[in-house]
Amino acid sequence: MSRILLIDNYDSFTYNVSQCLSILKIGTANPVIDVIRNDQITVEEVRDRVQEGYYKAIVISPGPGRPSDAGITMDLIRKLGPSYEREEEFWPGVPILGVCLGHQAIGEVFGGRVILAPSPVHGRTSPIYHKGKGIFAGLPSPFEATRYHSLVVEGDTRPENLELTAWTEDGLIMGLQHREYKWIQGVQFHPESVLTKENYRIQLLQNFLNYVSNYAEDKFVGGGWEV
């Protein structure tokens, strides 16, 4: 049985994310989604559970405020996302998907800046343009997705280690993928919203779960998630 840790940043959309993930597949089975608030578990506890094979991936929910206000969110990304090998210690990294605030946290952790958007967008759909790789494989470009945010990862100061994978017509960042740790990805929009077309929602989230399945089997580290 595969389990995913869903970090709840005290947001009403968290259980929408959970429900969407729970009806999809990791391999041939539906994953179990453990929803835990960002101040009710430690990074060390999560690390132990990942090492034991208990959690196959981490999803970081939307939420109010800024990433720095979101409990363990940023430390979780910083300490558990990347792979490393030091002396006797090897850490393979763990697949992470950040949604809205979770996406912004990925941006900040790896050197980006989170700023006010030119105008807040709450409950409106926008065309999302993308490169057709990673979690966007098989989706048309553009496709309509729902946005609820007043902050964005700043485009002009986007660090080189984060690849732009999706954007709006006016150039706002809507998707990021770490260039080295390709299993770390984020989306600014809300794929779980009912206003995001169901087949697009399913395709995007299933793409992530497909990768989780392959990652868990192969202990794959570095590169390779290009399609």
Residue 20 has pLDDT above 50, yes or no: yes
Domain assignment present for 83: yes
The pTM assigned to this predicted structure is 0.94
Q: Which domain holds residue 126?
A: 3-218
Known catalytic residue at 20: no
Q: What percentage of the chain carries pLDDT values higher than 90?
A: 84
Known catalytic residue at 192: yes
Domain assignment present for 226: no
Domain assignment present for 225: no
- Number of domains composing the chain: 1
Known catalytic residue at 85: no
Domain assignment present for 223: no
Domain assignment present for 227: no
Q: What percentage of the chain carries pLDDT values higher than 70?
A: 94
CB 107, CB 70: distance < 8 Å:
no
- Residue in 100, 108, 149, 178 annotated catalytic: 100
Cα distance between residue 102 and residue 129, in whole Å: 20
138-178 pLDDT per residue, tens: 999 999 999 999 999 999 999 999 999 999 999 999 999 99
Instruction: Tell me the average pLDDT across 9-15.
Output: 96
Q: CATH no. for residue 44?
A: 3.40.50.880
- Residue in 20, 85, 190, 217 annotated catalytic: 190
Domain assignment present for 152: yes
Taking each helix axis from N to C end, the angle separating 198-218 and 14-22, rounded to the nearest 10 degrees, works out to 70
Three-state SS for 174?
A: strand
- Residue in 20, 103, 108, 192 annotated catalytic: 192
- 12 burial via Cβ count (<10 Å: 0-12, 13-18, 19+): exposed
Residue 226 has pLDDT above 60, yes or no: no
- Chain mean pLDDT for the chain: 93
Cα distance between residue 163 and residue 64, in whole Å: 25
Domain assignment present for 92: yes
Domain assignment present for 224: no
Residue 223 has pLDDT above 50, yes or no: no
The pLDDT of residue 220 is: 40
189-205 pLDDT per residue, tens: 999 999 898 899 999 99
Residue 100 has pLDDT above 50, yes or no: yes
Instruction: Tell me the average pLDDT across 100-108.
Output: 99
Residue, of 213 and 72, whose pLDDT is higher: 72
